[in-house]
Amino acid sequence: MCNLRSFFTPLLAVLLLQSLVVVVSAQGSVSTWKTLTGNPPLVIARGGFSGLFPDSSSVAFQFAMLTSLPDVVLWCDVQLTKDRVGICAPDLRLDNYTSIAQVMQNKDKLYLVNGIPNRGWFTVDFTLNELSLVFLTQGIYSRSEKFDNIYPIQTVEDVANLKPPGLWLNIQHDAFFTQHNLSMRNYVLSLSRRVVINHLSSPEVGFLRSIVKRFNLNITKLVFRFLEPNVIEPSTNETYGSLSNNFTFIKTFASGILIPKSYIWPLDASTYVQPHTSIVSDAHKAGLEVFVSDFYNDVPLSYNYSYDPVTEYLNFFDNGDFSVDGVLSDFPLTPSATIECFSGLGKNVTPQVNLLVISKNGASGDYPGCTDLAYQKAILDGADVIDCPVQISKDGIPFCLGSINLYDSTTVAQSSYSNRSQIIPQIKAGNGIFTFSLAWSEIQNLTPVISNPYSKFELIRNPNFRNSGKFLTLSDFLALAKNTSSLSGVLISIENAAYLIEKEGLPVTDKVLDVLSKAGYDDPTSKKVMIESTNSSVLMKFRDKNNYEPVYRIEEDIQDAQDAALKDIKDFANSVVISKASVFPESSSFLIGVTNVVPKLQSHGLSVYVETFSNEFVSQAWDFFSDSTVEINSYVMGANISGVITEFPLTSARYKRNRCLGNNSSLPPYMSPAQPGALMQLISPGAMPPAEPPNPVLTASDVEEGPLPSNTASAPVPGGGAAAVPPGAPNGLPKIGACIFLSNLAMIIAILLLL
């Protein structure tokens, strides 16, 4: 292992140097920053890459350096052991983020911390040698536990020996250590003779004032850390809120402040952002740098940010009024990419990658799907194509709605139409009130409901607008799109056509063709029309329309496709929609490989669009670091897909413009695609997720189907045509790993395996 370490240390340096070259070039393209110094903000990695790995573990620190900006600063919360050794640990108590409770049973104690009783295993009760038996664990239980009990506790000098670009020591509880006859002051002064400390922070005024004259402030910046506004600072007996109005005093012992996000952008009771305060400009006027804490990709953000961490960072970096001087993050890759790739981008910047951004029911992550508000937001956010899943009313009016079952997207269950419920197994198991059971005038009166697919995780979308907007007829939708110059086309989705024709007497395909023609979309100079369906019989109806692009949607997750199936698809479609799992299959939310589905489809001349992209972090594999931009980048740069179907078009549209894609031959590490399966290699064998059964292979029989019934095949069945008809066989299929180019990120993970 020693020989391996000696081999890979220079390789690590080469990777970091490559990143430096790329980033310096990128920084040259950014206009002057509104920080105190005019330099780009610092990225401070709290406990390393602690959003994924155990806080303050060696792998977390190394991963942070390898995936972030070249000047990333490593943050260490310093605690003292019984024998006066400084260790990096997020809290005085060890039991929440180590295995100590299992290793040293019945050795917990009760102490007062800031006057509040706390029971646990405290660092002051154990020597470093005793702690060598203890391993780090993930202290935030919503994060993966797969990297627990692998990495030992790190001393401050262990972290310094990694030679980080910057080292930030935070002293949170000087008074507590003093009570236990341990001097944090003596420790940091002694350490500073051996280790370069770039930043030293504390929430205790007395501690900072006691050391300010003992440090070379050109080397070590002292930073006063603010706690919540109503908390009392013990040295001054003032609240932190009060101290935030006295920067002249703070300037006497510090060169900067570290404040929670809410000091800058307060939130109202409903978790919406309020106008920013003047604290950044006030601090800058006093000559103080402003660093901001509490950045986590996997904690619900303000609804204004639509679960997109890049949008949140931009609000602190690039809001037109100020820029903070640095951010403290558990996911340092995200602010690194935000600073270098996305800050200062205008909406008119030339796209750097060929990617079609297609909305999913409009911007349905922000407003109720298929409403005027959802479509307007999708257009404003930069979607290339807006979509209309066509449903049809009882009186034959085609309109846009994400589901044929009104239960899914309206308040119909609480309306006067609740007695129209029926069971139609050909469409959906269980009860439903279906669009063809109500006239359009009745549907217009229904209240929309925003989709909340992750409500079980308590992740709710834009609650202030959960019932806002109005539904559009297909005709109104097409008129909106035609009058919007930024759109390149529309996507019309048609499902359940055979049932609607045969059982309800509603020729939905003919209705769509008629409305498209009347709206002028038959004109070759008009916008592109994409017709999507899971049924080849529907697409055959549109095959001869030169201006229409038939899009075949494969509902099931597949691992491969037979050539015969692909040849059949090519006979009636120009492109295919597949699921994310058909590209990167997962096990326990870890990517386990990559299929050959995309290259195989493309080899048959089919464009490949992938669905559905959402911003909520629980919708993403761990490999994407709870960052929707990382996920999109991995599908685009790693799998070479043609387009994304997304509920949040802003994230994908912004991704297309990011400046870091301008030179694909030298992507920075924070813009390298995830390497499927690589992260799993860092998991200990005993903690590996279980093997998943393979997905099926798409066969010709899955694709083949007869033509649609004629409009006169049968009269409508009274009561909605609920006669039992066996559903068609689903597309079924498995997944095969194919090669993807080895990204910088994959090289990084390979290196970590050998360190």
Q: What is the pLDDT of residue 544?
A: 83
Read off the pLDDT of each residue in 4-11 and give the average, rounded to a whole number: 32
Question: Region 558-564: what's the mean pLDDT?
Answer: 97
- Give the separation between CA 17 and CA 10, rounded to whole angstroms: 10
**Total count of residues recorded for the chain:** 755
- What mean pLDDT, rounded, does the chain reach? 91
- Residue 513 parent element (H or E): helix 508-518
Is the pLDDT at 9 greater than 60, yes or no?
no
> Residue 6 above 80 pLDDT?
no
For residue 540, report the phi and psi dihedrals to the nearest 5 degrees.
-60, -30
pLDDT tens digits for 604-620? 999 999 999 999 999 99
Which region holds residue 149: left if phi is over 0, alpha if psi is between -120 and 50, else beta? left
- By DSSP bridging, strand 109-113 and strand 86-88 are unpaired
Mean pLDDT of 210-237: 96
Mean pLDDT of 623-631: 98
Q: What is the pLDDT of residues 729-751, one digit of tens each?
A: 444 343 333 333 334 555 555 55
> Which residues share a beta bridge with 643?
356, 609
Residues 293-310: tens digit of each pLDDT: 999 999 999 999 999 999
- Residue 691 pLDDT class (50, 70, 90 cuts): confident
Q: How confident is the model at residue 545 (pLDDT cuts 50, 70, 90)?
A: confident
pLDDT of residue 20: 33
Q: Is the pLDDT of residue 621 over 70?
A: yes
**Is the pLDDT at 429 greater than 90, yes or no?**
no
Show the tokens assigned to 528.
Answer: 């592109």
For residue 744, the model assigns a pLDDT of: 55
More confident residue, 381 or 712: 381
pLDDT tens-place string over residues 435-474:
999 999 999 999 999 999 999 999 999 999 999 999 999 9
Position 23 scores a pLDDT of 36
In the prediction, which pLDDT does 751 show? 58
Average pLDDT score over residue span 35-56: 98
Q: Vertex 398, ends 396 and 404: CA angle to 5°?
A: 95
> Which of 163-172, 627-636, 661-670 shows the lowest per-residue confidence on average (mean pLDDT)?
661-670
Six-digit token pair at 295?
């950045």
Q: Which of 11-20, 430-439, 479-488, 528-537 has the lowest mean pLDDT?
A: 11-20
Provide the pLDDT for residue 17. 31
Helices (H), 232-343: 240-243, 247-250, 279-285, 309-317, 333-337
Average pLDDT over residues 690-697: 92
Stretch 419-446: mean pLDDT, rounded? 95
Q: How far is CA 528 from CA 29, 547, 646, 679, in A?
A: 35, 6, 19, 40
* Partners of 363 in beta bridges: 360
3-state helix, strand, coil in the chain (%, to 5): 35, 20, 45
Q: Which residues pair with 386 in a beta bridge?
A: 490
Task: Kindly tell me if the per-residue pLDDT of 623 is higher than 50.
Answer: yes
Structure confidence at residue 525 (pLDDT): 82
E strand or H helix at 62: helix 58-67
Model confidence at 85: pLDDT above 80: yes
CA angle (705 as vertex; 699, 709 as ends), nearest 5: 170
Does 752 have pLDDT greater than 90?
Answer: no
Task: Give the mean model confidence (pLDDT) for residues 28-36.
Answer: 74
| Local structure of 281: helix, strand or coil | helix
Residue 536 has pLDDT above 80, yes or no: yes
Beta bridge mates, 489: 385, 528
Q: How confident is the model at residue 11 (pLDDT cuts 50, 70, 90)?
A: very low
Q: What is the pLDDT of residue 7?
A: 29
Q: What is the pLDDT of residue 347?
A: 79
Residues 48-83: tens digit of each pLDDT? 999 999 999 999 999 999 999 999 999 999 999 999
Closest CA to 753 of 678, 687, 686, 691: 678
Whether residue 598 contacts residue 575, with contact meaning beta carbons closer than 8 Å, is answered with no
Residues 108 and 83: their CA atoms lie apart, in Å, by: 18
pLDDT one-digit tens code per residue, 325-372: 999 999 999 999 999 999 998 878 899 999 999 999 999 999 999 999
Residue 169 DSSP SS3:
strand
Q: How large is the average pLDDT for residues 658-673?
A: 85
Whole-number pLDDT of residue 710: 85
